Amino acid sequence: MEDATGRRYYIGKTTILDEEKTPLVVNWKTPIGGKFLAAMPGDSQGLRSKRSFTTAKNTIRSYSDSHFRTSAHEGGGEPPVEDQTDADGSGFALDDAVLAAMDAHRDSSMHDIVATIQADQYRILSHDPDDILLIQGGPGTGKTAVALHRLSWLLYNQAGAQDADDVLVVTPNSTLTAYIRNVLPALGDEGIRQIAISELGQRFVRKPRHEYSSVGVLKADARMVAVLHRGLQNRVGLSGDELTVRMPATREVAVLPAPAVNAAAKRYSHMPYLAGRTALAEKLRQELVDRYPLPRRSTFEQSFDAQSFNSQVDRVWPALSPQQFLRDLFSSKRQLAAASEGILSDEETNLLYRASAPSISEEGWTDSDAFLLHEVQAQLDPAKIRRYGHIIVDEAQDLAGMQLQAIKRSSRNGALTLAGDVAQSTGANRRDSWKSVMDLLTRRPPGQLWSAEAVTRKTLRYVYRVPREAQVLANSLQDEVAPDLDVPQSMRDAGYVPRVTRAERSDVADAVLKTVEPHVADGLMIGIIAPLSLHAAIGPALTEADVSFVFARDGELGDGVNVVTPEAAKGLEFDAVVIVDPQQIYEGDAGARLLYIALTRTTSRLDLVMVDGRMPAALQPHLDIPAPAVPVHAPAVPVEVVSAKGPSPRRHASLTDEFVAMTAELHLEAIESQVHPELVPRVVEMMQEMLMKRDGS
């Protein structure tokens, strides 16, 4: 780049010095590097021009220039304006380096975007480090990459104040964690902990347990913070008339009246639970000494029986572990009712009750329990929660209240960066706005050492990854998925018109294989996005055709073909995407948003397999849907099959197959809530086999 004085700088990933220690290349994270990245139409950052190179190793393939007028501004006149604007007059256009990066083939990992950071992205990633920053960005706007590059920028510009051990990256699942894990090392930031959200509470769970989804949703609600706090408070206080401690030397019993004991306990009730217990114990020791003076040269332990004293303190303020407290709470209807009064309904309170195991070591804990245990530990003893100087959270729109609470508890000072898209919010915790998240982030729960008055929200509007051809289809669902958000604007064309392949349900796997073959031949990274119920048919068809693939739900991605559910596709990107049965996706829970996610996973090619002639109405005007094939043979008619038990009407086998598949799908939601995800396809397959046998087919 060249500044107003004519001085030139070269900007790169890292600083390169010559023998005289003079910079040849300046790190992009420096203020000088920031000028290069922030310069844009209307704000030249004091530059005359900047040039972006497209390279292949040590060879420059191409370059693009941006020129700015700065003389008037330098003299105090009007702000600088770039010489060129794009066709719509917005002054926003992508240079060759960005276009080349978007056209490059994808693989199983996300890559850094240093060479293609845009001005709108840089202004967000370099925002005040100490704020709670919320980045709203549609698919392909680069919000995940911006959040990760922000972390790298913060580590560089806060050197000494933070290091790799003091920051944390949180994603919703292990697949996304694996996908992004190479970005920070590529930026020179090694040793940063990157985890799925479930790992925050895993250390509290020794024995897993299953529960109904309705119970899990309730436990994940942020109201449980108040229930747990009141439950702990209710464990404090002397229920009897007095507290008694044995005095071995005199064989007497020291007595403290209940009013004095409870007054002391109330004095420390604002403290974290275990700290309050320690303070109360010290106060009671002093009360005993004041009432029963120690003999000369005698210690408290010599005058008062230690075991007796500790047991009396436990009567007032019991020592508890997170597991012990939650076990006691959930197995006592009385404790639950007292803790949840005015917070939960009676029906909700009853959902939480469960019988306890014979011993605490045998007690099982669910995924939702893990975050409750994390919160209980924070209220018992905050020092036992690992805390970080800055936390990056991706796909934050799907996090439950207690998951967000665990992230807050893991923050030492409230420095958080959250990235997400309300339009892609799905699952049990889906939301239609960021209000509930922002309210929770600014709420100060008991024992939290920091507070935040507000959350700064920034929006990324321009879509760089998703081509216009796919974005047009996704935007047709905007009124259903997020009517209050700005419509994302794609900045490039892929030159590939989405194709539609018709298929009957019994032929879906063959249609998928036919659609995928050209992309496989071109060596592309492919995402087959299909409802889980279809995976059992698609997988064997790919195997039989000798097409290597992976089920992305297993926490890994391949460089070739990946079979993935719409839910698991969130945050991922592929060269080519094949969406199987978009109508079935659309008709499911949060279906419009899941279809929106599926449509925006591609960087180049998009194909759709239309099953049984059904396609969401919003998409139809934007697609060239082929006419149904004319049947060659006469249509199947019902036939009668005679069994040993006598005649019974049977439909044609092809119709029976369809019925079996549809029957299995009706039970899929129940299966998914009770069966491990890896086993669901096989369970569905077994169900279909049983139905076929029962039907005599």
Span 468-622 CATH architecture? 3-Layer(aba) Sandwich (3.40)
**pLDDT of 70:** 55
Task: Tell whether the model's pLDDT for residue 218 goes beyond 60.
Answer: yes
**pLDDT of 107:** 53
pTM above 0.85, yes or no: no
In our burial notation (b when 16+ CB lie closer than 10 A, e otherwise), range 422-442 reads bbbbbbebeeeebeebbebbe
Residues whose CB is less than 8 angstroms from the CB of residue 455 and which lie 6 or more positions away in sequence, other chains included: 131, 132, 133, 134, 437, 438, 441, 442
**pLDDT of 60:** 86
pLDDT in tens, 569-578: 988 999 999 9
At how many degrees (to 10) do helices 653-666 and 532-544 cross?
130
Binding annotation = 137-144
- With beta carbons less than 8 A apart as the criterion, state whether 415 and 390 touch: yes
Q: What whole-number percentage of the chain has pLDDT above 70?
A: 84
| DSSP state letter for 388 | B
Q: Which DSSP string corresponds to 28-91?
A: TTSHHHHHHHH-BTTB-TTEEEEEEEEEETTEEEEEEEEEB--HHHHTTSSPP-BS---TTSSS
To the question of domain 127-208+391-442+453-461 being in CATH 3.40.50.970, the answer is no
Residues of the chain with CATH 3.40.50.300: 127-208+391-442+453-461, 468-622
Give the count of beta carbons closer than 10 Å to the beta carbon of residue 637. Answer: 7
The token pair at 10 is 């070269």
The token pair at 509 is 């796997």
Task: Tell whether the model's pLDDT for residue 622 goes beyond 90.
Answer: yes
> pLDDT category, 690, cuts 50, 70, 90?
low
Binding annotation for ATP = 137-144
**pLDDT of 215:** 96
Backbone angle region of 531, left / alpha / beta, with phi > 0 → left and psi within -120 to 50 → alpha = beta
pLDDT in tens, 291-327: 999 888 888 988 999 999 999 999 999 999 999 999 9
User: H helices of 482-621, where?
Assistant: 508-521, 532-544, 582-587, 591-599
Q: Output the average pLDDT for the chain.
A: 85
Q: Report the side by side order of strands in the sheet with 59-67.
A: 2-3, 47-56, 59-67
> pLDDT category, 76, cuts 50, 70, 90?
very low
Task: Tell whether the model's pLDDT for residue 652 goes beyond 50.
Answer: no
Alpha-carbon Rg of the chain, whole angstroms? 31
Backbone angle region of 333, left / alpha / beta, with phi > 0 → left and psi within -120 to 50 → alpha = alpha
Instruction: Please give the Cα distance from 444 to 620 (Å, whole number).
Output: 48
Mean pLDDT of 37-50: 88
> pLDDT category, 163, cuts 50, 70, 90?
confident
Higher pLDDT among residues 392 and 449, named by residue: 392
pLDDT in tens, 229-281: 999 999 999 887 899 999 988 889 999 999 999 999 999 999 999 999 999 99
| DSSP state letter for 389 | S
Instruction: Please give the Cα distance from 136 to 351 (Å, whole number).
Output: 35
Burial class from Cβ neighbours inside 10 Å (0-12, 13-18, 19+) for residue 453 reads exposed
Residues in the chain: 697
**pLDDT of 631:** 62
CA angle centred on 194, ends 189 and 200, rounded to 5°: 145
Give the count of beta carbons closer than 10 Å to the beta carbon of residue 280. Answer: 22
The token pair at 585 is 């996706």
Give the DSSP H/E element, type plus range, for residue 689: helix 680-694
Higher pLDDT among residues 594 and 696, named by residue: 594
Instruction: Please give the Cα distance from 455 to 131 (Å, whole number).
Output: 7
Q: Where are the beta strands (DSSP E) in 371-514?
A: 390-393, 416-420, 456-460, 462-463, 489-490, 499-503
Strand pairing of 456-460 and 416-420?
A: unpaired
Residues whose CB is less than 8 angstroms from the CB of residue 501 and which lie 6 or more positions away in sequence, other chains included: 511, 514, 515, 607, 608, 609, 610, 626
**pLDDT of 553:** 67
Strand pairing of 47-56 and 59-67?
A: antiparallel
Q: What is the distance of C-alpha 574 from the center of its chain?
A: 19
**Which of 250, 246, 243 minimizes the C-alpha distance to 281?**
243
pLDDT in tens, 389-401: 999 999 999 999 9
Task: Tell whether the model's pLDDT for residue 528 goes beyond 70.
Answer: yes
Instruction: Please give the Cα distance from 478 to 595 (Å, whole number).
Output: 11
Mean pLDDT of 416-437: 93
pLDDT in tens, 171-213: 988 888 888 888 888 888 899 999 999 999 888 888 889 999 9
